[in-house]
Structure 1
Amino acid sequence: MVAINSAIKEIRFLLPQAASNFKSFVLKTYPVIKKEHPYLPVLIRECQGVQPTVVVRLEKGVEVKKHVANFSEAELTNLLQNP
């Protein structure tokens, strides 16, 4: 289960084309997020030459952008709980 902070209004995942732990985390977590939060916009973009990144839009349009290349699964989950 992935508990999402209620202040989050949108999540964007920017994935590199190469396989990575981040990509597997997103593919595993996305169905759970959409099941628990069906109206939360979750965008997944796979791009060439990008760093693995999570962009979280909060209330009043505030965005938090984190490069997560070396994050563990626990750290990624924590980012979604406490942006």
Structure 2
Amino acid sequence: MAWRSQLSKNIRELRLLFCQSSPASSSARSFVEKNYKDLKTLNPKLPILIRECRGVEPQLWVRYDYGVEKGIRLDGLSEEQILKSLKEFAKV
């Protein structure tokens, strides 16, 4: 999992949006609970924004240089799939 420490080389901002209570957002909430500390420890200068809003669809957004943003819907994805998506975003 050495790629985790390299996130801040390619990504300028990481945003996670999800609902505090909906079942669709349960895997996103669990992902944040289990991975936030490690990601932030390995990338202390990388802004990791957690946005909770009632009724919002779970999403993962990354911002690269020059304001380029890419996102993915997390509805129906497992924690492993979310981690895999983040890894793919880090390769770009």
TM-score by length of 1: 0.88
- Corresponding residue to 2:79 among 67, 73, 76: 73
Question: Which is richer in strand?
Answer: 1
**Structure 1 residue corresponding to 2:57, chosen from 28, 32, 51:** 51
Match of 1:10 in 2: 13
Residues 1-36 of structure 1, C-alpha deviations (whole Å, 9 max, x = no match): 572543111001101121612101111111011100
One-letter amino acid of the counterpart of residue 13, structure 1? L
Normalized per residue, the structure richer in helix is: 2
Q: Give the RMSD, CA atoms, in angstroms.
A: 1.6
Aligned mates of 1:47, 1:53 — CA distance in 2? 12
1:82 match: secondary structure: helix
Pairwise CA distance, 1:74: 1.9
Percent identity among equivalent residues? 39
CA displacement, residues 25-83 of structure 1 (integer Å, 9 cap, x when unaligned): 11111101110000000000110110011111012210011111111222111121112
Distance in 2 of aligned mates of 1:71 and 1:60? 29
What is the rounded CA distance, in whole Å, between the counterparts of 1:7 and 1:79 in structure 2?
A: 14
Q: Which runs of at least 4 in structure 1 moved beyond 2 Å after TM superposition?
A: none
Aligned residue-pair number: 83
| Distance in 2, Cα, partners of 1:43 & 1:11 | 6
